[in-house]
Structure formats: structure tokens, C-alpha cells
Amino acid sequence: MKANKFSTHTKKLGGMIIFLSSLFLISLTSLNQNDDWDSYLGGSDRNHFSTLDQITKDNVAQLKIAWTYSMPDSGQMQSNPIIANGILYGISSELQVFALNASTGKQIWKFGDPLKNWASTSRGVSLWKGQYENRILFTAGPNLWALDAKTGMPILSFGKSGKVDLHEGLPKIAKDKFIISNTPGTIFKNLILMPVRLSEGADAAPGDLRAFDVITGKIAWTFHTIPYPGEYGYSTWPKDAYKNEYTGAANNWAGMAVDEKRGIVFVPTGSAGYDFWGGNRKGKNLFANCLLALDANTGKRLWHFQTTHHDLWDRDLPAPPNLITVVKNGKKIDAVAQITKQGYVFVFDRVSGKPLFPIVEKKVPKSTFSEESAWPTQPIPTLPKPYARQSNELSSEDVNPYSQNIDQLKQTLKSIDKNWYAAPSKKGTLILPGFDGGGEWGGAGADPENGIIYINSNEMGWIQTMEPAATNLKATGENVYKTYCKSCHGAELQGNTKSGFPELNTLHQRRKKAFVNEIVTQGKGMMPGFGQLTAIEKSNLLAFLFKEAPKEIVSVQDLKTKNLPPYKMTGYNKFLDSEGMAGISPPWGTLNAIDLNTGKYLWKIPFGDEPILAKKGIKNTGTENYGGPIITQNGLLLIASTKDGKFRAFDRSNGKLLFEYLLPAASFATPSTYMMNGKQYIVLACGGTKLGTTKGNSYVALALQ
């Protein structure tokens, strides 16, 4: 009897504690909800927007370092940290997740294997808020993990011992194929909608969109971006493309935005594999290169718009769209705005999908390859005008005036195809904006209520040249290298550091074979993994890289059918002079403010200083940049992103520079801002590495002193 009474009393007391705890959590959340940055890019609308106003135009120049958090590993960090209830959650370059006291930077917990050199570069984590617990979700390799937000320990009831393999739910042809995620998943109710990064070759896995249950890890719904028989868009591909080994991707890798009130998720997708050859996937290729509006509860398609038909130029949609409100003909319209690598902004009615500015289909050149069928037209919005120069706007005179090789640059520019959307060819095509945009994964900031969008843009020319793919090769390490590695690392393993690809001639002196084997399999940074290689091919490739004799020589055809395209791109080559400087004239990076109520520009300025020229007193050239801005309601635009390693504050009404600060390492990431104990902070991940910048390993928080 006593035991039963004690048990009953304990249950009542436990229930009361849980009830009071939930009230406390709800109260704490409501008190802090305007002070936090508790979702990737500041919210599910992906506007990078903050109402915090302690830091103003008048005092922003007084910002100082408040705290730093350093990690033992250093390297590229693209993380936009999230902050909730006084705790900052971030991730290192080696994918260790950590929680910090947001006012001091003191570590609370850390999770991850410090000895595991994971392949992907992460842009952050996701936070799910439950009634009794909060969960942090992040990816490492092919796995989606769920951690207890208080302790950093895996939630063992999620998936298998706290993780779900992102191959889950994909068809059999995706087994063992490369799949990771660079971008945090999008939370909607008890679902997490996962972006994935896949191979960009003919070996790519299908890019099916999937929502996972945050509690169990089970798949809630799937949308086929390469449609199955009977599904909308099936006829835009060759028959049975969805199950072919050589047709894949059309994936979302850049993240999504959610209209939580309406339950609509807006999903930008990328190109189909192989990026630069479509002879085996003739047709428009829905739903590659689309902005998709789906029912977030079920995955049902509501509407779509394809921004590039039958992509041959790697024109992935590079960032989540922005959910904003604009005024048209005196009427408020909830809109969705999608930036692109091409330098366009496409703006639609969020519910109907109707374009808010006319979009025309413009004729483009045919392919010079008989096996290829470039789509005859491509869409171009009439407004806003492009925020980056287009290839067809350049003449041979538009070369870098600061170069020592002006005549050679003019000759190169004159010799290649500069037509808008010119199909890939042996001659060579100017890709401007380049393969890295235009707009990039940092995304645009926006004033959501006033319909103004702020875009930092790259203006770097690249040259796309095609060559016949080798056939009937023996599976020597050299031939495997030529097939899969040469386009980035060069025919002589010399690399292309100007374009970001390291030399491999001394790889055997710098790295152990086990490490290189992992990178070949898993990928690293922007390099995809090559899980499709057989054991013999991989063994011989490693032997070639490590200056050893091959283990076994057999014919590729004896291994399996490769379905390699008949033509491949010679490499990701920027249009540069012999000194590594940009081939085209500046600016090489810009900041743009566009009023999407009218489609007109409010202002446009060069963004950043090329370090080599800045030392000579030449400023305002603009630089390549990665990572987006913070937009504040009280009139600031706060951004790092540039090659010169500076954090800058601008007056967002006119683009006037108010403050700049040299960071300990370049920050190629979107900052976050939050309020803690009466003080507003701005925090940045400073990892450097990209564009030849020095490595870093710290998160830096700025505040008024």
C-alpha cells in the first residue's frame, strides 16, 4: 500500500515537474525568440533578417572582439551558426559539432570523431524544438545524426543508434553511390527535409527529395525529381531515365525555404548528371534546375518553374529562395524570389507560381555535337536586370587593365564563344557569370516586409572546353586518373591552385595512402567521392598517385559497363592571366540592392578589394566572395565573404561603407546575430582556405564594448 502511494505520489510529482519544465521552456523560448538566430540563415524564410537594434549605423564602427572559440582542426568553414536560449551551436571544418555559452564562447559540449577526416564542408546544423527536449540534427559523411541539444549525446531512438543513412529510401541503383549533405536540413513541424550533395558525373545517384521524421528517423515522404512512369514530367526524359545507372542528380543541395503558415516548402534543384553532357538525357529534364513548390506535409507538387532547360552548364540553383512580401498594383503579394548563378532573380506569387515580372524564352545556339540536343530556348526575366555581367556583353576590349598580359587576354577572349547560353564545344565557351556564380550558396538577404533583396555576386569568367572522352582504356592508374581526375588536377598532376585544385605530384610525400583512399571514396570539400570505382581501379589509381607499380591490369570493359559520356569537359578553368589575375575587367565582386516591388536597383557597388592590387593603392575592384549578408531592420548590411578577409558594415539604404575589420582568417560564411544578457553579438566562422587564403580555425564574436 505504501509503495503504491509512493509510486502515485512520484508520478504526480514527476508530471508536475515535466509540466512546470515545459512552461519554463515555453516561457524561455517566448522571451528569447526575438533575440535568437535559431534557424539556418536566420529563419525558415531564409532572409538573413534581424530586428535587433543595439548595433546601429552610428555605433557599428565601435565593434570589438567579444570572444573567440578556436578548434584544433583548421580549414574551410562555411557554417552559419544557430543560437537559441543562450547557447550557440556550430560545427568545425572536420565536422565536430559543439555547443558554446553564447556570451562567453566557453564550450559546453562537443560531439564527433576528431580522428575522422570527413569529406564534406558543412554550413551548419538544424535545431528542432520539442515539448520536452530540443534536438540538434547534422550530417557527417552519408549519415544524418540527431543529438540531445543539452548534452550533445546521440538520441538512440532516432534511426539506428542516433543516425540515419542518407541512402535510405533511394532506389537500389543508389547503393554505395556518393551522397553527403553540405547544408542544414529544413525543419517543418516534426519533419526534417534534407538537401543532399551527389556526384556531378554520369554515376550520380537519383536526387529524390525526402522528408524524415525528426522523432524516429523514418522517411515521411519522397518526391522523385527524375519522374517515374505516370508522374508529371516523365516525358521530359528518355524512357525509364529514373532507373538508369547513368542518369542521376537533379538534387537539392543548397537548402530550402518554408512558408510555415501555408505549409509550402520551396525547393531549388540542381542539374542532372553529367553536368556538361546531356546526349543520354535528351529533353527538358524536369525537375532538374527547378524551383519547386511542394506541400511540406506530403511532398505533393503544387507548382514549379524551370530556370534552365536541359542544363549543360552546371546552372544549379545555388541558394535557398527568399520569402518576401511585395506590392504590385497597390496589392500586397506574398512572393518567393530565387537567385541564380546566371545573375537573374526570378520572382513568383508564392501560392500560384505566377511570375511577378514577365519571363521570356530566348533562342539559344544549337550544339555542335550531333549526339547532343541543346534545348532551343532558355528563360530570362525582363526584370530585374541581371546583377552580374553576361558573357555576350563582353568584347575583346573587356579584359583586366591591370594585367601584364593584356594582348594575350584579348586574343583568348576573341577566340572563344561568348554567346548567351552557347552550347559546350571543342572551341571553348566563356561562362560568365562563372561556374561559381553570380549568386552562390551564401544566399541573398532581404527585408521581407518591404520587398528589398540584397545580393553579393561573383563576376569571374570561366572557360568551358569539351574534348572526346577516352575509350577502350585499360584500367591502369594513369587511365583512371585521366578519366576522373584530370579535368580538375591537370594532365601532369600539376593542379590548378588559381582555380582551387591542388597539385598531386607531391601527394605521396604529404599524405598517407589510407587518407587518400578515403578522400577518393568519400570526396572532400567540393570534390565528390568516386564510390563507383572498382577495387582494381581504385588500387591502381592510388598506386599511380603514390608512384608505385599497379597491382593488376585489366580492360575497363572486363569490369563493368561505365556508360561514360562521349565528351567531357577539360577542366574547371577560370579565365585568368599567367599571373593568376582575373582575365576580365573589374569589378570581380559586387553588392546589389534590388527593390522587388518595381524590379529596379536601389544601388550597386564593387564588393571587396583584390589584395594584390590593394597593396598598390588600387581599391574597389571587388573580389570573389562566398557567404551571405545579415540585414537588420534598423538599416545595416553586415557581411564578410570576401577574399581580402574583412568583415564590413554598410548602410543598406545607399551602400555606403560604415565599418571594416580585418578578421583572423577570411570568413566564407554567412554571419549570425543574437542578443545575450543585454548585449548584441555578431558571430562569424573564420576558416579561410578558399581562393588561396590562409587557413583559420576560429569562431569570432563581435560586440559593442
- For 315-331, what is the mean pLDDT? 97
Predicted confidence at residue 27, as pLDDT, reads: 37
**Main-chain dihedrals φ then ψ at residue 548, nearest 5 degrees:** -115, 165
Distance CA 360, CA 49 (A): 31
**What does DSSP say about strands 657-662 and 672-676: parallel, antiparallel, or unpaired?**
unpaired
Predicted confidence at residue 14, as pLDDT, reads: 37
Q: Does the residue 44 lie in any domain?
A: no
- For 681-705, what is the mean pLDDT? 95
Predicted confidence at residue 564, as pLDDT, reads: 74
Q: Does the residue 155 lie in any domain?
A: no
Q: Which of 695, 527, 701, 529 is nearest to 73 (CA)?
A: 695
Predicted confidence at residue 472, as pLDDT, reads: 60
- For 320-328, what is the mean pLDDT? 98
Three-state DSSP class for 40?
helix
Q: How many CA atoms lie within 13 A of 367 on its CB side?
A: 20
Q: Does the residue 397 lie in any domain?
A: no
Predicted confidence at residue 498, as pLDDT, reads: 56
Residue 605 neighbours by CB distance under 10 Å: 17
Predicted confidence at residue 2, as pLDDT, reads: 36
Q: How many CA atoms lie within 13 A of 581 on its CB side?
A: 22
Q: How many CA atoms lie within 13 A of 496 on its CB side?
A: 17
Q: How confident is the model at residue 335 (pLDDT cuts 50, 70, 90)?
A: very high
Predicted confidence at residue 288, as pLDDT, reads: 98
Q: Does the residue 282 lie in any domain?
A: no
Predicted confidence at residue 75, as pLDDT, reads: 86
Q: Does the residue 497 lie in any domain?
A: yes
Three-state DSSP class for 186?
strand
- For 336-362, what is the mean pLDDT? 98
C-alpha cell at 695: 587557413
Distance (Å) of CA 532 to CA 77, 482, 529, 535, 549: 28, 16, 9, 9, 22
Predicted confidence at residue 24, as pLDDT, reads: 38
Q: Which residues contact 168 (CB under 8 A, 6 or more apart)?
A: 210, 219
**Main-chain dihedrals φ then ψ at residue 459, nearest 5 degrees:** -135, 80
- Grid cell 583572423 — which residue? 664
**What does DSSP say about strands 630-632 and 49-50: parallel, antiparallel, or unpaired?**
parallel
Q: What whole-number percentage of the chain has pLDDT above 70?
A: 90
Distance CA 106, CA 543 (A): 45
Round to the nearest angstrom and report the end-to-end CA distance of the chain.
63
Residue range 395-412, pLDDT digits in tens: 989 999 999 999 999 999
575-590: burial string, b at 16+ Cβ within 10 Å, e else? bbbeeebbbbbbbbbb
Predicted confidence at residue 227, as pLDDT, reads: 98
Q: Does the residue 142 lie in any domain?
A: no
- Grid cell 529562395 — which residue? 321
Distance (Å) of CA 310 to CA 47, 219, 270, 421, 514: 30, 30, 11, 11, 39
C-alpha cell at 149: 541539444
pLDDT at 319 over 50: yes
Residue range 130-180, pLDDT digits in tens: 999 999 999 999 999 999 999 999 999 999 999 999 999 999 999 989 999
Domain count, the chain: 1
Predicted confidence at residue 17, as pLDDT, reads: 33
At 440, which helix (H) or strand (E)?
A: none
- Grid cell 562521349 — which residue? 566
pLDDT at 8 over 50: no
Distance CA 457, CA 110 (A): 35
Given strand 82-84, what is the order of strands in its sheet?
82-84, 87-91, 97-101, 107-111
Total residue count of the chain as it appears in this document? 705
For residue 268, what are the β-bridge partners? 291
pLDDT at 522 over 70: no
Predicted confidence at residue 499, as pLDDT, reads: 56
**Main-chain dihedrals φ then ψ at residue 674, nearest 5 degrees:** -160, 165
Predicted confidence at residue 620, as pLDDT, reads: 96
Predicted confidence at residue 92, as pLDDT, reads: 94
Q: How confident is the model at residue 494 (pLDDT cuts 50, 70, 90)?
A: confident
Predicted TM-score (pTM) of the model is 0.90
pLDDT at 554 over 60: no
Q: Which of 640, 690, 381 is nearest to 526 (CA)?
A: 690
Domain that holds residue 490: 470-563
Q: Does the residue 47 lie in any domain?
A: no
Q: Share the mean pLDDT of the chain.
A: 90
**What does DSSP say about strands 445-447 and 63-70: parallel, antiparallel, or unpaired?**
unpaired
- For 463-469, what is the mean pLDDT? 93
Residue range 49-69, pLDDT digits in tens: 999 999 999 999 999 999 999
pLDDT at 659 over 90: yes
pLDDT at 116 over 90: no
**Which residue did the predictor score with more confidence, 509 or 249?**
249
With beta carbons less than 8 A apart as the criterion, state whether 158 and 151 touch.
no
- For 433-458, what is the mean pLDDT? 97
**Which residue did the predictor score with more confidence, 464 or 17?**
464
With beta carbons less than 8 A apart as the criterion, state whether 136 and 198 touch.
no
pLDDT at 551 over 80: no
Q: Output the domain CATH number for residue 551.
A: 1.10.760.10
- For 208-230, what is the mean pLDDT? 98
Predicted confidence at residue 12, as pLDDT, reads: 38
**Which residue did the predictor score with more confidence, 329 or 33?**
329
Q: How confident is the model at residue 493 (pLDDT cuts 50, 70, 90)?
A: confident
- Grid cell 555535337 — which residue? 369
Q: Does the residue 421 lie in any domain?
A: no
Which amino acid, residue 675? M
C-alpha cell at 484: 576522373
With beta carbons less than 8 A apart as the criterion, state whether 463 and 422 touch.
no
pLDDT at 5 over 50: no
Q: Is 2 exposed, middle or buried (0-12, 13-18, 19+ CB in 10 A)?
A: exposed
For residue 647, what are the β-bridge partners? 661
Q: How many CA atoms lie within 13 A of 193 on its CB side?
A: 32
